[in-house]
């Protein structure tokens, strides 16, 4: 290995710097795999290596019960034909099934879920079992298309627990079950445009750093929006200063898009930021807020912006990370029933109102009063296919079982286990890197940002950092880590950080791997220190 040679030349560095971090990842992986005798440590993508087993056992056992329901019809036919479940007597038949399989993993969870739905949520146990059986068999279209009736109520209770908590909250909200946070983003950007709530040339604020697509999508020809960056301050625990938040007072800013807890700093909005945003909304009642709260369930005492500013906020939540379910593609969009979106549509000019009436005339006799969230459903299927909209029913069933699993877990045992896993990994990483962790009540720790400027100053002093910033090319450290140690991290700048940094996912490797990553970072930085010292001697 040539210790003094940069990992990439200047031309390549400039070219690669233009890539999304998720595309740059592929080049880093290729480099990390160049040594066949070395294990690659990919802490780039945030796919967790843990998952919730109990609600999955419940899903598969529910499927077996649903099959017994289907096979009650057409039993005289030997060709493997079944029919739809029957509502009458389904609760009694489930009790017989549960007694016969009481020692099978997942069955006791289902028994508890039926009890919880009946006794705590006040819903019909028979109606619940019927919806779940028909849903898991996928024998009918999703009806209603936005979300199955009881499924929406149960998921709504889960969101109240995890996103709202003890915050005062008046009124109710609607849910649209979607194919994960990815679909939620796609559908919302599209419907905000189609309903003239955002138009080319409009300004939207982006809370930085943030999941990269929120930065990239507004620039596409589909939208051509002007981005106003609100920079979280790493020196203040990645909270937003009042000066940054006050950019939202500008009436030209139509919306504010935020990931909370943030990606990649993995820090939730503190109480001061939440209060300031409430004050801003009181002065800007027309401001649209969109909060993506996928990491909220890993936080202590999390409060969503949806809880504090419900009428102005679109909530996006995904089950992917908390339950280890990225392949299931499970997410929801939530809007308060009295919201700024519907009011803004009602104020549109008469000409635009007429155009929108024509757009949605095929799905309702009163398009003028079609709520925004139902417009999102229709737009997701180009309106004409609205009758076949909706998340697949087995996906909705698994979403419900995930929700019930947490609602029934009153001591939050699963949540405590998730927090323990990722926080031990973070401690191992920083200890191996030689950095003392600072406590922060708002830190969530699903990711961590290794800010090279901050870490370098803390470990080796400001003069070293000034030399380092001047003498390293973009992404050089990331490519050196991949080439020399097989470690794959993502660039913080791709997520909108101000300083050169690396995003480390704390979710997808084992604790010993983070020790290796920390050691590799410490070794590489020591090499740069040697070069810095050698350069000083030459002077």
Element (H, E) at 215: helix 213-216
| Residue 324 sits in the same domain as residue 439 | no
Element (H, E) at 417: helix 413-433
**Residue 6 lies inside a defined structural domain of this protein:** no
Question: Which of 252, 259, 143, 255 shows the shortest CA–CA distance to 197?
Answer: 255
pLDDT digits (tens, 9 = 90+) for 321-368: 999 999 999 999 999 999 999 999 999 999 999 999 999 999 999 999
Does pTM surpass 0.85?
yes
For the ranges 42-46, 160-164, 489-493, the lowest mean pLDDT is seen at: 489-493
pLDDT confidence of 453, banded at 50, 70, 90?
confident
Residue 504 phi/psi, 5-degree rounding, is -115, 120
- Which residues form the domain of 201? 149-408
Task: Quote the radius of gyration of the chain (alpha carbons, Å).
Answer: 26
Last residue of a domain, one of 77, 103, 137: 137
pLDDT(10) > 70: no
HEC per residue, 34-74: CCCCCCCEECCCCCCCCCCCHHHHHHHHHHHHHHHHHCCCC
**Residue 184 lies inside a defined structural domain of this protein:** yes
**Whether 278 contacts 308, CB under 8 Å:** yes
List the beta bridge partners of residue 451: 501
DSSP 3-state of 204: strand
pLDDT at 15: 62
| Residue 393 sits in the same domain as residue 261 | yes
pLDDT at 315: 98
| Residue 128 sits in the same domain as residue 182 | no
| Residue 404 sits in the same domain as residue 417 | no
Question: Which of 175, 246, 182 shows the shortest CA–CA distance to 213?
Answer: 182
| Residue 168 sits in the same domain as residue 214 | yes
Last residue of a domain, one of 355, 380, 408: 408
**Residue 1 lies inside a defined structural domain of this protein:** no
Which positions ≥6 away from 321 have C-beta within 8 Å? 46, 48, 294, 295, 298, 446, 507
HEC per residue, 70-98: HCCCCCCCCCCCCCCCCCCCHHHHHHHHH
Q: Compute the distance between CA of residue 3 and CA of residue 23 in angstroms, rounded to an integer.
A: 27
**Residue 373 lies inside a defined structural domain of this protein:** yes
pLDDT confidence of 538, banded at 50, 70, 90?
confident
**Region at 460 (left for phi over 0; alpha for psi -120 to 50; beta for the rest):** alpha
pLDDT at 527: 92
Question: Which of 16, 36, 39 shows the shortest CA–CA distance to 26?
Answer: 16
**Residue 8 lies inside a defined structural domain of this protein:** no
Distances (CA, A) of 435 to 428, 458, 519, 522: 10, 8, 11, 9
Sheet of strand 501-505: strand arrangement: 447-451, 501-505, 490-491
**Residue 111 lies inside a defined structural domain of this protein:** yes
Distances (CA, A) of 396 to 97, 139, 163, 177: 23, 13, 19, 7
pLDDT at 38: 82
Per-residue buried b or exposed e for 27-46, using 16+ beta carbons within 10 Å of the residue's own CB: bbbebbeeeeeeebbbbbbb
Structure tokens at 241: 């200063």
| Residue 227 sits in the same domain as residue 97 | no
* Tokens 């940094």 sit on residue: 501
* Tokens 């039993």 sit on residue: 75
Residue 342, domain CATH: 3.40.640.10
**Residue 3 lies inside a defined structural domain of this protein:** no
Question: Which of 51, 121, 101, 403 shows the shortest CA–CA distance to 111?
Answer: 101
The mean pLDDT of the chain is: 93
Element (H, E) at 150: helix 149-159
Residue 511, domain CATH: 3.90.1150.10
| Residue 220 sits in the same domain as residue 299 | yes
**Residue 144 lies inside a defined structural domain of this protein:** no
| Residue 401 sits in the same domain as residue 370 | yes
pLDDT digits (tens, 9 = 90+) for 114-136: 999 999 999 999 999 999 999 99
Last residue of a domain, one of 75, 110, 137: 137
Neighbour tally for 68: CB within 10 Å: 15
| Residue 194 sits in the same domain as residue 334 | yes
pLDDT digits (tens, 9 = 90+) for 286-320: 999 999 999 999 999 999 999 999 999 999 999 99
Q: Compute the distance between CA of residue 439 and CA of residue 427 in angstroms, rounded to an integer.
A: 11
Q: Mean of the pLDDT values across residues 22-39?
A: 80
Residue 81, domain CATH: 1.10.20.110
pLDDT at 11: 56
Please name the residue ranges forming H helices in 86-140: 90-100, 107-119, 125-137
pLDDT(143) > 50: yes
* Percentage, residues of the chain above pLDDT 90: 81
For the ranges 189-198, 317-326, 355-364, 476-485, the lowest mean pLDDT is seen at: 476-485
Domain count for the chain, please give it.
3
Task: Please report the beta strands in 374-443, taking only residues with DSSP state E, as ranges in sequence order.
Answer: none
| Residue 195 sits in the same domain as residue 273 | yes
**Whether 325 contacts 300, CB under 8 Å:** no
pLDDT at 252: 97
| Residue 170 sits in the same domain as residue 304 | yes
| Residue 351 sits in the same domain as residue 210 | yes
């Amino acid at each position: 290995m040539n210790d003094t040679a940069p990992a990439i030349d200047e031309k390549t560095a400039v070219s690669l710097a233009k890539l999304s971090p998720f595309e740059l990842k592929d080049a880093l992986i290729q480099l990390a795999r160049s040594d066949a005798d070395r294990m690659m440590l990919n802490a780039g993508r945030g796919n967790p290596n843990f998952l919730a087993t109990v609600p999955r056992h419940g899903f598969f056992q529910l499927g077996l019960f649903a099959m017994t329901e289907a096979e009650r019809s057409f039993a005289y036919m030997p060709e493997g034909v079944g029919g739809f479940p029957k509502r009458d007597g389904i609760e009694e038949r489930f009790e017989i099934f549960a007694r016969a399989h009481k020692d099978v993993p997942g069955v006791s969870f289902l028994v508890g879920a039926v009890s919880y739905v009946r006794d705590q949520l006040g819903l019909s146990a028979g109606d619940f079992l019927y919806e779940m059986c028909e849903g898991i068999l996928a024998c009918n279209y999703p009806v209603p298309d936005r979300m199955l009736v009881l499924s929406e109520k149960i998921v709504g209770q889960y969101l109240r627990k995890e996103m709202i908590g003890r915050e005062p909250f008046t009124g109710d909200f609607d849910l649209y079950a979607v194919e994960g946070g990815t679909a939620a983003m796609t559908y919302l950007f599209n419907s905000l445009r189609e309903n003239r709530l955002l138009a080319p040339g409009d300004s939207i604020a982006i809370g930085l750093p943030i999941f990269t697509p929120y930065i990239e999508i507004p620039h596409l020809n589909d939208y051509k929006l002007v981005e106003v960056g609100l920079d979280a301050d790493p020196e203040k625990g990645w909270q937003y200063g009042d000066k940054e938040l006050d950019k939202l007072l500008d009436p030209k800013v139509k919306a504010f898009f935020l990931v909370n807890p943030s990606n990649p700093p993995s820090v939730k909005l503190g109480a001061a930021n939440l209060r300031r945003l409430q004050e801003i909304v009181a002065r800007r009642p027309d401001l649209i807020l969109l909060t993506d709260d996928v990491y909220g369930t890993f936080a202590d005492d999390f409060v969503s912006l949806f809880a504090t500013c419900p009428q102005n906020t679109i909530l996006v939540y995904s089950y992917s990370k908390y339950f280890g379910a990225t392949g299931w593609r499970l997410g929801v969009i939530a809007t308060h029933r009295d919201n700024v979106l519907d009011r803004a549509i009602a104020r549109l000019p008469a000409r635009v109102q007429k155009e929108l009436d024509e757009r949605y005339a095929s799905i309702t006799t009163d398009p003028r009063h079609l709520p925004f969230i139902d417009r999102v459903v229709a737009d997701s299927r180009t309106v004409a296919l609205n009758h076949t909209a909706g998340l697949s029913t087995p996906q909705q069933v698994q979403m419900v079982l995930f929700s019930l699993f947490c609602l029934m877990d009153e001591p939050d045992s699963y949540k405590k286990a998730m927090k323990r896993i990722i926080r031990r990994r973070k401690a191992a990483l920083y200890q191996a890197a030689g950095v003392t962790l600072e406590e922060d009540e708002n830190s969530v720790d699903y990711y961590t940002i290794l800010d090279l400027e901050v870490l370098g100053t803390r470990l080796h002093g400001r003069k070293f950092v000034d030399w380092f910033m001047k003498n390293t090319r973009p992404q050089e450290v990331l490519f050196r880590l991949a080439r020399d140690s097989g470690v794959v991290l993502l660039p913080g700048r791709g997520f909108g950080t101000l300083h050169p940094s690396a995003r480390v996912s704390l979710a997808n490797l084992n604790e010993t791997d983070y020790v290796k990553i920390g050691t590799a970072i410490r070794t590489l930085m020591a090499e740069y220190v040697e070069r810095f010292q050698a350069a000083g001697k030459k002077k």
